Chains A and B, each alone.
Chain A
Amino acid sequence: MSVMNHRSRPGGAARGARTARQRSVRRRKINAVVFALPALLLLGALVGYPIVFAVVRSLFDASGEHFAGLDNYTEMFGDPATLKAIRNTAIWIAVAPALLTGLGLMLAVLTEKIRWATAFKVLIFMPMAISFLAAGITFRLVYEQDPQRGVLNAVAVGAHDAFTDASPYPGARTRGSQVLEAQKGGGYRTARPVRPGDSLTLGLVGLKPTALPATAAQAKTASAAAGAVTGTVFLDFVPGGGGRPDAVDARERGLPQMTVELVRDQQVVGHAATGPDGTFRFDAVPDGSYTVRLPAANFAEPYGGVSWLGPALITPAIIGAYLWIWTGFAMVLIGAGLSSLPREVLEAARIDGAGEWQIFRRITVPLLGPVMTVVFVTLLINVMKVFDLVYIIAPGPVQQDANVLALQMWLVSFGGGNNQGLGSAIGVVLLLLVVPVMVLNIRRFRRSQT
């Protein structure tokens, strides 16, 4: 534009225009500096310089006085806490992004045909807006061990008890007498061989009288009968004291609903259950030597749910909370990609008789490839840096079991470790992990500019 101006004007005016143009170019350069400088200064001082500083600092020891070469980096793999953090971060990287992308794809496809899709998407996306702290507190409540308080274990126990009867006598034991002995794997069995015609008195203690079922009645010594094994299982304890061990006394009650097994040569040959007075009976028992046992199921502790916040499950539990937060992100992005798919292609496939699954596998997923890659890579970067959620959800004693690199970096440099050399090295490793994505971003940007 200005070139044309310059040509159209004669002599002195042209020179005037040129200096004016030069002036305006110079002014624009000054402007550029004024416009860009504040941001660039801040970036240089708080992002650029720290990177250089951290790299240099990672080559020095904890005190910062002695050059340590790559010692901090080798120490990362020698120090058990950091090694655990590296392993857990690897688990996060391997599991979370793939799971989330899959979940997002599934929900995006399923919601496509639902009328209340928008409400659903808003609900699933909502956790994206809240802090990891609030989400962490929320999930500490969800994962609470006590089924009376943690909703997940309440559900687990409810489901468990719906399929398995609760055991009637947790904690019951023998008096250490000669009649019953503990057997491997729990439960009790008779110490001496039993023959048809015997009547047994199997006394147990260790139960509060109030813990007995309401049906429990005064225990009765079972009458012996030829060709039958009979007996009584009872609470061998008289409230207030007195009473003989291994004998049925007045005011001692039977233990009803107890499972009793008759065993011959390691084979269970008979089942019985005790009545309200504690008696049981096996009829028509062929002659021979037997053992009577009270299987462990009678004495099992009640099912207490899953130990979500214990050392074994803590990382999967935290990943669960992370899924709750990020699924909406994956779903919305993939959903946007889905709605921009060429409808004609899908319709054409349908007309040609392709099934829904075939269309999904052969057309939808390949076309969604680029969107899914973006989702996956974004999650990958975020997963590497996960900190708050682990810090909040893992209770103090299992924090080490849940440790991840970003948390370990904090622990080592600020949270008591006070080893800034190692802390810097972990920071540098976190940076190195994202370098491929950095290169990818730059490439993508340059391609978009040409």
Chain B
Amino acid sequence: MTTQHTAPVGAAPRTTAAPPAARRPVRLTSRLTAFLGKGLVQALLVVVALVWLVPTFGLFVSSLRPSTDNATTGWWTALAHPGGLGFSNYSSILADSGITHAFWNTVLISVPTTMAVVVLASLAGYAFAWLEFPGRDVIFLLVVAMLVVPVQIGLLPVAKLFGALGIFGSLTGVILFHVAYGLPFAIFLLRNYFADIPREMLEAARMDGGSEWLIFRRLILPVAKPAIASLSIFQFLWVWNDMLVALIFADSGSQPLTVALQSQMRQFGSNIDVLAPGAFLSLVVPLIVFFAFQRHFVQGVMAGSVK
């Protein structure tokens, strides 16, 4: 709006010759259309916002209703008498050891994966940015090429490999797969970030006799904190939300929440009292992370737009 206002003001000197009486109605109508246009835009955006809000809101309300209510009436009918809503569905799924176990598996998969990706990728990123070794540039181009390799290509061969190694179905297998497919983007992101660190800073540290390890820990990592934060959040959410990889590489003991819940989808309709609170349980952590680290998350997504 501010920009629209500045235009007539900026244009005013040119039309000073026109009598004020003639100018007024023009400005009034243009103002009116601007006002109406803005109102229209606002109304449209409110509708869009509602469309975006209603699905999640509906899921949340459904998760608070008894299953008999969900089977017969829509969640919106509960808004008329919210007294019937309660957290009993949550307490019953939290009492279900299968669900809580799966929830812990999700944590046990996503946290180590994120840590491993950050550690391995920052080490490799440093090597690609500042250390010389034979074939460095060619290998890095391969890493760039791997950015868009779909996980689908790896599912079958890695399943066989893990079967031979005896880690198929274990948490380790799921984590290893996630780490491997998270690495190309992580290395790419961090290598580029490290490469922007001024050469003089590094040379000075080397002259002072600092070992590469020391330089990496004391100089590089602190400087790259924002990039590492974005990467961690991005990677964490990516793995937390995964279903496909775990569907294949996890067994009933190591399956995360997403896999535990998808197995309930066949009876959809009769078990909304499990699925709705389960889905909310699975999305509450990402939402907290999202709201707590919004800026980092958005930056991570923006940087990740090559993936």
Contact = CB atoms under 8 A, between A and B. Distances in A.
Given A134-B283, A445-B144, 11 more contacts: A35-B126, A36-B127, A39-B121, A39-B183, A42-B120, A113-B1, A120-B49, A134-B280, A392-B243, A396-B266, A410-B244
A267 interface: no
A114 B41 contact: yes
A28 B132 contact: yes
Interface string B182-198: 01100100000000000
**Centre residue among B131, B159, B237 by max chain A CB count within 10 A:** B131
Interface string A101-116: 0000001001101100
A46 B187 contact: no
B25 interface: no
A319 B241 CA distance: 19
B181 interface: yes
A113 B41 contact: yes
B177 interface: yes
A50 B124 contact: no
Interface of B: 1, 3-4, 6-7, 10-11, 38, 41-42, 44-45, 48-49, 51-56, 58-59, 62, 70, 72-76, 120-121, 123-124, 126-128, 131-133, 136, 139, 141-161, 176-177, 179-181, 183-184, 187, 203, 207, 212-213, 216, 237, 240-244, 247-248, 258, 261-262, 265-266, 268-269, 272, 275-276, 278-280, 282-283, 286-287, 289-290, 294, 297-298, 301-302, 305-307
What band does the interface of chain A fall in when counting residues whose beta carbon is under 8 Å from B? 35 or more
Contacts of A120: 45, 48-49
A54 B127 contact: no
A123 to B, nearest CB: 6
The 10 A-B pairs at the shortest CB distance, nearest first, are namely A131-B241, A46-B180, A50-B157, A32-B131, A36-B127, A39-B124, A129-B290, A35-B127, A32-B133, A53-B157
A32 B135 CA distance: 12
Contact of A39 (B70, B120, B241): B120
Interface of A: 1, 25, 27-29, 31-33, 35-36, 38-40, 42-43, 45-51, 53-54, 57, 107, 110-111, 113-114, 120, 122-134, 137-142, 144, 148-151, 154, 324, 329, 332-333, 336, 343, 346-347, 350-351, 374-375, 378, 381, 384-385, 387-388, 391-392, 395-396, 406, 409-410, 413-414, 420, 423-424, 426-428, 430-431, 434, 437-438, 441-442, 445-446
10 contacts: A36-B123, A38-B120, A39-B124, A50-B153, A53-B157, A57-B157, A110-B45, A129-B297, A133-B241, A149-B73
Contacts of B269: 144
B55 A138 contact: yes
A133 B302 contact: no
Given A133-B261, A396-B266, A434 B127 contact: no
B146 A47 contact: yes
Contacts of B123: 35-36, 38-39
Given A130-B287, A434-B149, A438-B145, A148 B305 contact: no
Contact of B54 (A151, A333, A428): A151
Given A114-B45, A133-B279, A54 B132 contact: no
